[in-house]
Chain A
Amino acid sequence: MKRGRSLYYLFVPFFVVYILFILTPIFRTLTYESFSYIIKDASSGIWQSIYYTYALALVVALLAIGFSIPYVYLVSRNENAGIKVVDSLVELPIMIPHTVVGLMMLITLEPSMPLGKLISRVYPGYQFLDTFLAVVITLFFLSSAYTIRAVQISYSNDVMKYEDIGRTLGMSPLKSYFIIALPMMSRAMLRGLILSWARSISEVGSLLIVAYYILPNIVNVAGVFIYSQFQSGNLSGAVASSSILIFTGFVALLAFKLLERGK
């Protein structure tokens, strides 16, 4: 009995240290300011920022789901080597420093740049910098890979086989896909949604460049808002805003997890 548990006792300290390592800064942030101060800070504009951040991140996550479904089908159903090479590029945005991503977006999509020029010819009055569009496109660039991989793992490892069985039962490719395969991917899609959403909320670097203030409402996304509080020497305010962000994020993740379990 004792011998059988020796590995268990050996690993427990690592587990405890890791959990403490994760929880300590969170606990420190949540308790740094008094509750009444945090309530006071709530009127500083952080709520509005959080609202915009969560909503924009959700738009981005839904877009990512929308693109992941056809993408995953094509890549999983295709033996073409070219497509496999393209597929290996999906993670590229994850490894590019975020400020660089901001610059990349700027020099690609600003109306003064070639592609931007083309767009503004089709859509007169097209603006990029400091718009909701800039936030959504930049966050999509950064976070969609997480969604794609979550859906892809589910489809190519598991769901495809069932879809194939549907075909052997005489179902057309469309019917087999929409009736058998797609509903089976709902859990993976929800998981992809959470990953992309969470990733978008945590983004600051690229948005400092493309959308420090989002016009015309002049709001910052939460990360940028807190950064600007800190930059202006207001550490207490920045920390209070952070604790609100962390707490709401925790509640949102919990809600997602409950939804995922219900699926």
Chain B
Amino acid sequence: MITFREFSVMREGFRLEIPDLRLSGGRNFVVGRNGSGKSTLLHSIAGLIKGKGIIEINGVNINDLPPEDRKVGLIPQDLLLFGRLSVENNLKASVKYAHGNLDIYREIVEELHIKSLLPRKASEISIGQAQKVAIARALISEPSLLLMDEPFSFQDEISRLGMISIIDEYSKRYGFEYLYATHNSRDLDNGFSNLVSLDSGEVVEAVDSFNGIQHFRTFSLLDYRNLISNEGHYYLLGDESLDFNDQSGNQYEIVGNDSKRYIRFKLGGEFFFASPSKEINGKFVKIDLSKAKEILY
């Protein structure tokens, strides 16, 4: 369980504020545009930038502790393996120089099939291998919370979801929680216990299921379809708000391929997309915003 109370942090003129946030369940994702504060959040939980207020992990305030005493692991986007050291020395860094767990080392090296990499320099292995090594290195240090800052974003879909699944599995086995920053909604396909949406340094909302999302800013990070912003109001489109006919309404185009076909139309000079489940026919689509679900910004 991660709790923030009256927490704020400043970095290079950017301010992140979290007055009150409780994340229970252990599988946490944070979404937000570039510059929304995801990295700042992760770095301040890790203790690499100093914030004010309270961050509790399982009831213990860690915000006054130095990074090495927080038991918070971090896998950054560029992984930051120690390139001059061998893979083995990367993995054993926490065992040799801190309180890393040699049993976990043995277990993970075996299970992730990285034994053959051990003598190689960390700068000489492939990106996919480096990602596994970065996961292993963090887990061997026995964190109670593992932070990930889009570390697998340079991967294909199957590899990335595979990596997230590895994290998922180990988090259950070793009993750590994780917080994963992403701007790819696919990363949520394995499920989550909390989804935190960040924008301009503030929490837009934190939900425990997709059904709980109320804000346009969160929806728009996860999908581009069935969303409309019009004259300062924001809507979620359903079948009932779309009326296809030959007489009047907006012109539209069917775009996409095969099963992923949807319509594209212009409203107030901007393009929007809808994927109705009913049959698409007729020259026009009439968009009845009074029948759409108005959502918050």
Chain A: residues with CB nearer than 8 A to chain B? 161-162, 164-173, 175-176, 179-180, 183-184
Given the complex of chains A and B, what is the CA–CA distance between A171 and B66 in angstroms?
10
Known: A164-B48, A165-B74. A170 touches B94 (CB 8 A): yes
Can you spell out 22 A-B residue pairs with CB atoms less than 8 angstroms apart? Answer: A161-B78, A162-B82, A166-B97, A167-B48, A167-B67, A167-B68, A168-B46, A168-B68, A168-B72, A168-B143, A169-B73, A169-B98, A170-B68, A170-B99, A170-B141, A171-B68, A171-B97, A172-B68, A173-B66, A175-B98, A180-B82, A183-B84
CB neighbours (8 Å) of A171 from chain B are: 68, 93-94, 97-98
B71 and chain A: residue at smallest CB distance = A170
Known: A167-B66, A167-B67, A170-B99. A162 touches B80 (CB 8 A): yes
Given the complex of chains A and B, what is the CA–CA distance between A162 and B94 in angstroms?
14
Number of A-B contacts (CB under 8 A): 71
Q: How far is the CB of B64 from chain A (nearest CB, A)?
A: 15
Cβ contact within 8 Å between A168 and B67: yes
CB neighbours (8 Å) of B100 from chain A are: 169-170
Given the complex of chains A and B, what is the CA–CA distance between A216 and B94 in angstroms?
55
Q: Which of B66, B84, B138 contacts A169 (CB 8 A)?
A: B138
Cβ contact within 8 Å between A169 and B141: yes
A186 and chain B: residue at smallest CB distance = B84
CB neighbours (8 Å) of B97 from chain A are: 166, 169-172, 175-176, 179
CB neighbours (8 Å) of B71 from chain A are: 170
Given the complex of chains A and B, what is the CA–CA distance between A197 and B107 in angstroms?
51
Q: How far is the CB of A98 from chain B (nearest CB, A)?
A: 38
Q: Which of B73, B82, B99 contacts A168 (CB 8 A)?
A: B73
A167 and chain B: residue at smallest CB distance = B67
Does B137 reach chain A (CB closer than 8 Å)? yes
Given the complex of chains A and B, what is the CA–CA distance between A166 and B48 in angstroms?
11
Q: How far is the CB of A43 from chain B (nearest CB, A)?
A: 47
CB neighbours (8 Å) of A180 from chain B are: 82, 93
Does B238 reach chain A (CB closer than 8 Å)? no
Does B76 reach chain A (CB closer than 8 Å)? yes
CB-CB contacts of B84-105 with A at 8 A, as 1s and 0s?
1000000001100111100000
Q: Which of B47, B78, B99, B138 contacts A167 (CB 8 A)?
A: B47
Q: How far is the CB of A169 from chain B (nearest CB, A)?
A: 4
Given the complex of chains A and B, what is the CA–CA distance between A225 and B74 in angstroms?
58
Q: How far is the CB of B63 from chain A (nearest CB, A)?
A: 15
Cβ contact within 8 Å between B80 and A169: no
Summarize A's interface: helix, strand, loop or mixed: helix
Q: How far is the CB of B208 from chain A (nearest CB, A)?
A: 27
B residues 14-56 in Cβ contact with A at 8 Å: 46-48
B residues 134-166 in Cβ contact with A at 8 Å: 137-138, 141, 143
Known: A162-B80, A164-B67, A180-B82. A169 touches B93 (CB 8 A): yes
Q: How far is the CB of A244 from chain B (nearest CB, A)?
A: 39
CB-CB contacts of B118-148 with A at 8 A, as 1s and 0s?
0000000000000000000110010100000
Given the complex of chains A and B, what is the CA–CA distance between A173 and B82 in angstroms?
16
Given the complex of chains A and B, what is the CA–CA distance between A117 and B69 in angstroms?
50
Given the complex of chains A and B, what is the CA–CA distance between A173 and B48 in angstroms?
12
Given the complex of chains A and B, what is the CA–CA distance between A172 and B67 in angstroms?
9
CB neighbours (8 Å) of B137 from chain A are: 169
Cβ contact within 8 Å between B84 and A184: yes
CB neighbours (8 Å) of B138 from chain A are: 168-169
Of B78, B82, B141, the most chain A CB neighbours within 10 A belong to B82
CB neighbours (8 Å) of B46 from chain A are: 164, 168
B146 and chain A: residue at smallest CB distance = A168
Q: Which of A168, A172, A184 contacts B48 (CB 8 A)?
A: A168
The 8 closest A-B pairs by CB, nearest first: A170-B98, A167-B67, A169-B94, A169-B141, A168-B74, A175-B97, A165-B80, A171-B97
Q: How far is the CB of A14 from chain B (nearest CB, A)?
A: 36
CB neighbours (8 Å) of A172 from chain B are: 68, 97-98
CB neighbours (8 Å) of A169 from chain B are: 68, 73, 93-94, 97-98, 100, 137-138, 141
Q: How far is the CB of B196 from chain A (nearest CB, A)?
A: 20
Q: How far is the CB of B129 from chain A (nearest CB, A)?
A: 18
Q: How far is the CB of B263 from chain A (nearest CB, A)?
A: 42
Q: How far is the CB of A173 from chain B (nearest CB, A)?
A: 7
Cβ contact within 8 Å between B93 and A166: yes
**Given A161-B78, A169-B141, 10 additional A-B pairs, CB 8 A:** A162-B80, A165-B80, A168-B48, A170-B71, A170-B99, A173-B66, A173-B68, A175-B98, A179-B93, A179-B97
Q: How far is the CB of B99 from chain A (nearest CB, A)?
A: 5
CB neighbours (8 Å) of A164 from chain B are: 46, 48, 67
Q: How far is the CB of A202 from chain B (nearest CB, A)?
A: 33
CB neighbours (8 Å) of B68 from chain A are: 167-173, 176
Q: How far is the CB of B94 from chain A (nearest CB, A)?
A: 4
A166 and chain B: residue at smallest CB distance = B93
